[in-house]
């Protein structure tokens, strides 16, 4: 028997998780995927530039960013065909199909040139996806490799300054959706950034509920 294709297995899992959820995703997640709007507002891409999101889901962040930064082209990839179906509908409804392109791919191993006909982006961001990606460390390296400028990451923190009972409740609930907050997230990003001569800025939001990490090139310095 041949080895299972891990990308296909994970893609199938994500499709099952989101098959129904995608219809209520944007409405419900706005109450608990905190820090996304701040991250989008800090992207500040150059006019005429290009921005890539890994794990773009319903396209909610891409649409927000495209409205905020009108002279920029946006690209998103996601492993779930179900999520991308919603993303394509929402992007078309927003009249942004000419400025946002999405494609199906695994954020741990993708070929941006084949998907989007470009290798590098002025900004790359990842919003609440690393906590769902097996081998998420490879996505951190891939994001840094694809970015000519800064990389922006927001995800669940360790709830380090919240009560223990809240942390337990949240963790139990997130596990039902195959979400695992990554304790080594900041250290992993720091190591990958240092290898590429980049610097890292880390902000813990809402008592550690969410973490916001920005990787800058030497000329940018967050």
Ligand X SMILES: C[S@@+](CC[C@H](N)C(=O)[O-])C[C@H]1O[C@@H](n2cnc3c(N)ncnc32)[C@H](O)[C@@H]1O
Which residues of the chain form contacts with ligand X (CB under 6 A)? 10, 14, 29, 33, 36, 55-57, 60-61, 78-80, 83, 106-108, 127-129, 132-133
Residues ≥6 apart with Cβ < 8 Å to 136: 108, 130, 182
Chain centre distance of CA 147: 14
Of 37 and 201, CB closest to ligand X: 37
**Shortest reach from residue 11's CB to ligand X, in Å:** 8
Q: How far is the CB of 110 from ligand X (least distance, A)?
A: 8
Q: What are phi and psi of 114, to 5 degrees?
A: -70, -35
Residue placing its CB nearer to ligand X in the complex, 35 or 49 = 35
Q: Nearest 5°: phi and psi at 81?
A: -65, -30
Nearer to ligand X, 19 or 199 (CB): 19
Query: Cβ neighbours of residue 19 under 8 Å, at least 6 residues apart?
Result: 82
By Cβ distance, which residue is nearest to ligand X? 57
Write down the least CB distance from residue 133 to ligand X, Å.
4
Q: Which residues sit opposite 216 in a β-bridge? A: 199
Q: Which is nearer to ligand X, 49 or 181 (CB)?
A: 181
Q: How far is the CB of 218 from ligand X (least distance, A)?
A: 28
Angle between helices 6-21 and 81-93 (to 10 degrees): 50
């Amino acid at each position: 028997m041949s080895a299972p294709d891990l990308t296909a297995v994970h893609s199938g899992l994500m499709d099952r998780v989101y098959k129904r959820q995608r219809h209520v995703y944007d409405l419900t997640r706005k109450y608990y995927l905190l820090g996304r709007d701040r991250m989008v507002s800090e992207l500040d891409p150059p006019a005429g530039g290009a921005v890539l999101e890994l794990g773009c889901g319903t396209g909610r962040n891409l649409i927000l960013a495209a409205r905020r930064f009108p002279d920029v082209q946006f690209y998103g990839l996601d492993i779930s065909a179900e999520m991308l179906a919603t993303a394509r509908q929402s992007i078309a409804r927003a009249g942004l199909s000419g400025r946002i392109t999405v494609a199906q791919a695994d954020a741990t191993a993708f070929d941006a040139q084949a998907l989007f006909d470009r290798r590098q982006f002025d900004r790359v961001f990842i919003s609440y996806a690393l906590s769902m990606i097996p081998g998420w460390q490879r996505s951190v390296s891939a994001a840094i490799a694809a970015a000519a400028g800064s990389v922006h990451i927001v995800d669940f923190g360790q709830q380090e300054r919240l009560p223990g009972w809240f942390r337990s409740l949240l963790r139990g609930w997130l596990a039902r959706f195959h979400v695992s907050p990554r304790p080594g997230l900041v250290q992993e990003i720091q190591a990958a950034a240092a290898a590429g001569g980049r610097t890292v800025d880390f902000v813990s939001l809402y008592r550690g509920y969410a973490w916001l990490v920005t990787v800058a090139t030497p000329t940018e310095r967050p």
